[in-house]
Amino acid sequence: MQNGTPGWVKVAELSEVPEGKPKAIQMGEGRSIALFNDDGKIFATDNQCPHMGYPLTRGTIRNGILTCDWHRRSFDLEGGGCFHVECDDLRVFPVEIRGEEIWIEPGDMEYRRAEEHKQLLREGLLSEDRWTMSKAIALLLKGGVPEEEVMGSILEHVARHIPSAHGSEGGADVSKLINGLRVGSRYEGEDRLIAVTTSACSASGEARQRLEVIPLPEPVTWEKLSRWVRVFSFEGQASRIERCLFTAYHKGDAEKLRPLLFECAFEPHFIDEPQIPLYVSYLSEVVDEFGWDRTADLFFYLGADLVGHRPQDPERYRRDAINILKEMMPTIEGAALERTNKFDEDSFVEALTSVDLQRSFEEVGAIISDGVYLDKVITTLVLLAADRMANTPVNVDAGWWNLTMELNLAASLRSAKEMGGDLIAAKGLFHVAWQIFADRWINIPTRLLSEELSKEKLDVANEEEGIETVISTIESLNVQDVGPQVIGYLNAGYSAQKLLLAIGHSVLWDDTGSEVLPTLRTVFDEWNNAEGHPAQAQLLVGLARYVTDIRSNTDNKSAATTAMNFAEGRTTIEVFEE
Ligand code: FES
């Protein structure tokens, strides 16, 4: 190749590109450009098929249409336009014939196709096609589009998808979205891409436009609106709540909406509906992450559907729980919170695991009245849940849905506290305590968190070998051995963070990844909060046992790695190298 006129490059002799014999030339960082001779006229295009990267020099040309040989996507050879959905246009380059030489103007490699690739992502989200989503996300990230912007496009889809397809179950989509983002931020490259793509995939599917909600006519005040939301929440009237939330937002009361939803979600009648406060917490985080402008509609719809959910008529124990709570509420609401670090953790844990509801709730009430710092109590609840995951018998049903719910709900009380205030978080403690009581059927042996764990060290030469040992045990689905190995690894003084990242990596590349995202994120977040606690290790042990037991060993590696290679322009080169 020779440089002549600025911006133009000689790429071949005319004789090297006879009709019917396209030629591939490599440019820049291994990019491949295809030269075609169609009826005596020379054309230059990117050689990487925009669909899945197959070399277009292996395609065919008829009537000025270039058709890729792999999945038969076709393009206007001259302008690059693609005739199919879920495949963007082909990049083409100006060509000049100078004597017997072919010159092209490759232009700079600057990325200018963000809008096209966002459209591609929207198409992939609608069709639920993992490859299209992976490719679009890889291209956008590689092109320097900030991750928040990519997630913003996914969020716009989620906001329409949830009302079209799910209702309040859409909380699970929001959970995967925000937890995928949080987990992804711990990784780089392909691991990050797969976390983001996993979030996108879990929220893909139909997304219809909804009728616009309009504010209630004046005069309405915040006092009236908030009272109505509480009443409609109690009565299970989701659509009425949505209009109230919308009206309050338009009257400038946006900042009061999240505390109100938390307040409703922790009402006694939602005992045994742990997903409601948990999803309210994730929804609140989504607002924090993306701002009200992008999330308001989703917040109104899903928030209303969550707190407007009508629970089943309570059975005996739930009825008891609701009655005890109602009696205790005036004391709880009058308590002076956040005054002391001192509390007897062992007796608290004994009460919670006593299978005696009255005792459990009284103990929670006592530590609230004593003013124990809520963050300290939340750490205890998180570690208790992790400890239960570390000890649950796995022979029949380990109860993973319930146990991870205990863990994630407990951890979510930190957001409830931050966004809704201390009293709301204090009420949330009862919901975690109920969950532990309700999960009594799992028959987990009781253990105090102050009890010492095994001191045995893992017999390996170094940290790397230790990590490999644990990961291969996870991959061989050996749930009995993985717990002692994790403890042994930590006892040997090796890095917990490195092991956690390795476990997360192995989870992300397995098809069970999307299910594990919330728990993985909780363990990442909570590890430092538990620093110095004798049960800290149980966070990693519980996670390792959980991911081992539910693992499917069906990896979703190919879409993400191919998408990364595609975004780097490496797929055509690799085909040649083969
Ligand atoms: S049509 Fe070209 S790679 Fe699929």
Residues 128-151: tens digit of each pLDDT? 888 888 888 888 888 888 888 888
Residue 21 CB less than 6 A away from ligand 1: no
Q: Which DSSP symbol is given to 26?
A: E
Q: Which residues pair with 82 in a beta bridge?
A: 75
Banded pLDDT at 578 (limits 50, 70, 90): very low
Residue 71 CA to ligand 1 center (angstroms) comes to 5
Exposed e or buried b for every residue in 203-232, given b needs 16+ CB within 10 A?
A: bbbebeeeeebeebeeeeeeeebbebbbeb
Condensed to tens digits (0 to 9), the pLDDT of residues 42-69 reads 999 999 888 888 889 999 999 999 999 8
Find the 512 Cα to ligand 1 centroid distance in Å.
Answer: 28
> Please, what sign has the CA dihedral across residues 65, 66, 69, 72?
negative
Whether 470 shows a pLDDT value over 70: the answer reads: yes
Could you tell me the pLDDT band of residue 570, with boundaries at 50, 70 and 90?
Answer: low
* pLDDT beyond 60 at 573: no
Is residue 51 in contact with ligand 1, taking CB distance under 6 Å?
yes
Residue ranges per structural domain of the chain: 2-110, 316-442, 463-557
Distance (angstroms) between ligand 1 centre and the Cα of 67 equals 9
Find the 59 Cα to ligand 1 centroid distance in Å.
9
Given a contact cutoff of 8 angstroms between Cβ atoms, the answer to whether 44 and 92 are in contact is yes
Structural fold of domain 2-110 = Rieske Iron-sulfur Protein (2.102.10)
Does residue 392 register a pLDDT over 90? yes
**Among 183-197, 217-231, 562-576, the least confident range:** 562-576
Helices (H) and strands (E) in the chain, counts: 23, 11
Report the distance separating Cα 560 and Cα 564, nearest Å: 6
Q: What pLDDT was estimated at residue 53?
A: 81
Residue 328 or 314, more confident? 328
Please tell me if the CB atom of residue 135 comes closer than 6 angstroms to any atom of ligand 1. Answer: no
In tens, the pLDDT along 78-130 reads 999 999 877 788 999 999 999 999 999 988 767 677 888 888 888 888 888 88
DSSP code string of 145-186: --HHHHHHHHHHHHHHHHHHHTGGGGHHHHHHHHHHHHHHTT
pLDDT digits (tens, 9 = 90+) for 266-291: 999 999 999 999 999 999 999 999 89
Q: How far is the CA of 75 from the centre of ligand 1 (A)?
A: 11
Q: Which residues contact 112 (CB under 8 A, 6 or more apart)?
A: none
Mean pLDDT for 305-329 is 90
Lowest-confidence region among 143-152, 235-244, 331-340: 143-152
pTM, full prediction: 0.85
* Nearest residue by C-alpha to atom 4 in ligand 1: 71
pLDDT of residue 35: 96
Contact 22, 44 (CB under 8 A): no
**What pLDDT is attached to residue 558?**
61
Helix, strand, coil % (nearest 5) of the chain? 60, 10, 30
49 lines ligand 1 (CB under 6 A): yes
